[in-house]
Structure 1
Amino acid sequence: MKRRLYPAYKIHGAIFLSFIILGFIIDGPIKVFQGLQKIIFNSDILITDYVELAGIGPALVNAGLLTLMIILLYLLLGIKPNGSTIMSFWLIAGFAFFGKNIFNVWPIIFGVYLFSRYQKEPFINFILIAILGTTLAPTVSQLAFEGIFPPGIAHLAGISIGIFIGFILPPLASSTVNVHHGYNLYNLGFSGGLLAMVLMSIYRLLGINFEKRFLWNTENTLFFAVFLYSIFTFLLIYGYIKNGKSFKNVKKIFTHSGKLVTDFYLLYEKAAYINMGILGIVSTTYVLLIGGDLNGPVISGIFTIVGFGTFGKHLFNVLPIMIGASLTVFLHIWELSSPSMLLAILFSTALAPIAGQYGWLIGILTGFLHVAVVMNIGSVHGGMNLYNNGFAAGFVALILIPIIRSFKKGG
């Protein structure tokens, strides 16, 4: 059966192929392959910055290669591009700087595939859960390479736990959407966090605990600023040209709340690329203005915002959340440019649909509350859930939405 190579796959394939080429240019083949070994055979729990662990070149190659693999998987399955598939490319690419690699995602994806076979349903019905479910990829690496078990047993244990997670994740992910009513865009972060919390509780019961980890690069902000602005300017110009050299429909994107499921690519197609470019430029500029570092984890946060530019986020539902999250600095607990605050602010935009639905004031309150929750929730899953902010956002939405609805009509 002939597979059509859609323009969206071509353009994204070219973007992520450029990551690989740039990575080899910067560090050369030997350093890249040595760095990839470090990335694969290392702990990936929060926070593990692959740029700090292995270098710019290996991190770029890991991100480009893994994302191209996912694009190829979509092609082999004959999946047409839409907002969710494009969003998943950017999430994979972002977290491939920050916890996901060309090894640890596949046991989980295979586990979801086995679930689809068990249910006698096409794998394409579960493909998004399979890709986004790799939020729990660190569980594979932790058991496989951290010396908890002898080498052969450890590798088997890591792969087995990944397959098991993938197998049980689809029904859990389907049910958690109802908990937050579609207002948490990172639904897999919520369901994955619940699952990781239970797994970590069992580990601790068995006497297994993981040391805290903090790898954070501070030396490559200028390079990554040029890198990111180049990508997002390209997306904006590409969208503008393909949209008939017009910003038509961008204003229409701004009118949506962004609540799941809102697919800007299917609704407005090329205008969605303009939206992505705008979000990327604004979020990168925000990080630079507050004196933050551009590195693997921060790129992951920015790419996540950009990816959801096709699937629920736009400037006017993102900004209120980011403002509210930023206002927590006045509590004098965290510095605005500190790693924890940077990530909390960027990923707080999981709750953008609340601002889109209920307005700026409630959006600002939501962002403020999100930081309070996310700063205290990571320990329950031991850093194994990469979408930690999605986990926190699920609880924030669970609490806020019923309260808001009791005082406001709509929703």
Structure 2
Amino acid sequence: MKLMKRLYPDLPHGERYMFLYIIAVIEILFAFVLNSPLEIVNGLYRIMHSPSTLISDYFAIANPGAAFMNSGLLLILGLGISRRAKKELSGPIVAAYLTLAGFSFFGKNLYNSWAVPLGVYIYSKYEKDSFANNIVFALFGTTLSPLTSVITFGLGLPLPVGILFGNLAGIVAGMMIPPLASEFSKFHQGFNMYNIGFTAGIIGMVFMGMLRGLGFDSPPQSFIGSGYNIQMGIFIITISNVMLFIGLSRCSWSLDGFRRILDSPGRGTDFIAIGGFGAVLINMAIMSIIATAYVLLVGGQLNGPIMGGIFTIAGFSASGKHPRNTVPVLAGVFIATTLHINDTNSTGALLAALFGTTLAPISGYYGWFYGIIAGFAHMSVVSNIGYVHGGVNLYNNGFSGGFVAAVMVPLIEALKGNKTGLVK
């Protein structure tokens, strides 16, 4: 801790930042356990030259070591943005960083993840607003990173032309995210945690519509790895135990803060403010184990996209997700997958389950029964919505979740006798 203060004396909430830096370092070190330095370098090259649309598993495109290196480096570089902006590390910011790290296993990389944040920065300057106030938009907005990669590498354009127009598209998309995200949150009334995923789905739909009108389309991607359950299981269990130990010690071995988190419905919530950072670490550890257990119990593979889902659940365990409001949604998705043509243990079905927990506030606010229905409905919608944005929106489940929440919440309110269908 003293070393961190000497290196980064301007950092607020230093312990929280130190925790995320430690995760990044562990990822980088783990990369060398998985693959040789040469394999990692060659893998990073393949990752950065990939169109990176859904589903582009960097484990399969390159190798697990390169994917972990990509994730660790992006997390460190991303943390530098908050350090320069002097942004306090709240629950939503923790969620944003672990989501960034998670999607760096399948879609975000060292090339394509800069244009959108630059666009948000330009928007901030245009509005004469502090970039720190918009940093959440910049971090979550990297969901549109594949837009840059698709135009650069996936349309057959000369490379200089692709680089130019790919990055311009990312910058323009980044400028669109802050004003649109603020308005679109009213559409689902905050019951979809991945609001920027919904926003990015609309933006991606517009860009893909224009590209298709010009005769272009995103190349289909289906790179999915398998056979890494032991290595990834050891990694998750180790990280979870570390989080649990640190969290319990920070809470003086009390679960009072964690109980306060469990009592929250999870809608627009900062769990750090509610229970403290130690309680958040406990919640993150438990939620990571629950997510991993679900994947393994149904016979799934811990590949790049699934690791991204687990990282994202861990991140949002600081900002809305906990066992009480998440398990019903998982149950609803599971029931739906048993009735769908897709296998319950397929990567697509597992992603719908893990990321479908974006609807956890419905469960937390209205009860477990409606959480199950939300999960069931989500599985049906998310399976049919990815085409409209051509896979350039990595938070496809956030896009789906926005529509599910927008339909369900007014109906639930009507059933409860609230004729306006609006939630305060």
Normalised by the length of structure 2, the TM-score is 0.95
**Aligned-pair distance for 1:25?**
3.5
* Correspondence for 2:5: none
1:9-20 aligned at under 5 Å gives the runs 9-20=17-28
What are the residue-to-residue correspondences of 1:33-44 with 2, within 5 Å? 33-44=41-52
- 1:85 corresponds in structure 2 to 93
Indicate yes or no: 2:110 matched with 1:107.
no
Whole-Å Cα distance in 1 between the matches of residues 30 and 314 of structure 2?
A: 21
1:250–1:275 CA contact under 8 A, matched in 2: yes
Structure 1 residue 147 displacement after superposition: 4.6
1:348-368 alpha-carbon deviations (Å, 9 max, x no partner):
100000000000111101100
| Paired residue secondary structure (1:143) | helix
Residues 195-221 of structure 1 deviation map (CA, whole Å, 9 limit, x = unaligned) = 101111111111101221101111111
SS of the residue aligned with 2:256?
coil
Task: Give the structure 1 partner of residue 3 of structure 2.
Answer: none
User: Partners of 2:18 and 2:390 in 1: how far apart?
Assistant: 38
Indicate the RMSD between aligned Cα atoms, in angstroms: 1.3
Quick check: 1:326–1:345 contact (8 Å CA) kept in 2?
yes
Size of the aligned set, in residue pairs, is 410
Among 217, 238, 241, the residue aligned to 1:233: 241
Q: Report the alpha carbon displacement of residue 146 of structure 1 after superposing the two structures with TM.
A: 2.3
Which of 57, 60, 65 aligns to 2:68? It is: 60
TM-score (norm. length: structure 1): 0.98
Indicate the residue corresponding to 1:263 in structure 2: 270
Q: Tell me the CA shift for residue 374 of structure 1.
A: 0.3
> Percent identity among equivalent residues?
39
The answer to whether the Cα contact below 8 Å between 1:233 and 1:281 also exists between their aligned partners in 2 is no
CA 1:218 to 1:26, structure 2 compared with 1: closer, same or farther past 3 Å?
Answer: closer
1:361 correspondence with 2:369: yes
Q: Aligned-pair distance for 1:244?
A: 0.8
Which AA in structure 2 matches 1:185? M
Matches within 5 A, 1:386-397: 386-397=394-405
Residue range with higher mean Cα deviation, 140-149 or 316-325: 140-149
Contact 2:61 2:223 in 1 (8 A): yes
In 1: Cα distance, 2:380 partner to 2:124 partner: 38
1:89-168 correspondence to structure 2 within 5 Å: 89-168=97-176
Q: Distance in 2 between matches of 1:215 and 1:146?
A: 15
1:176 counterpart = 2:187 = no
Distance 1:92 1:266 in 2: 22
Q: Partner letter of residue 10 of structure 2?
A: R
Q: Give the secondary-structure state (helix, strand or coil) at the position aligned to 1:310.
A: coil
Q: Flag structure 1 segments of 5+ consecutive residues without an equivalent.
A: none
Equivalent residue, structure 2, for 1:198: 206
Match of 2:58 among 50, 53, 72: 50
The answer (yes or no) to whether the contact 1:374–1:392 under 8 Å persists in 2 is yes
Mapped pair 1:374 → 2:382: yes
Q: Pick from 297, 308, 314: which aligns with 2:305?
A: 297
| Closer/same/farther in 2, CA of residues 409 and 353 from structure 1, 3 Å limit | farther
Match 1:29 to one of 19, 27, 37:
37
Distance 1:88 1:330 in 2: 32
1:126 alignment partner, SS class: helix
Equivalent residue number for residue 252 of structure 2: 244
CA–CA distance in structure 2, aligned partners of residues 147 and 409 of structure 1 = 52
Distance 2:9 2:230 in 1: 44
Give unmatched runs, 5+ long, in structure 2. Answer: 1-7
Distance in 1, Cα, partners of 2:183 & 2:94: 24
Flag the 1:373–1:332 CA change in 2: closer, same or farther, 3 A: closer
Give the letter aligned to residue 197 of structure 1.
M
SS in 2 for 1:249: helix
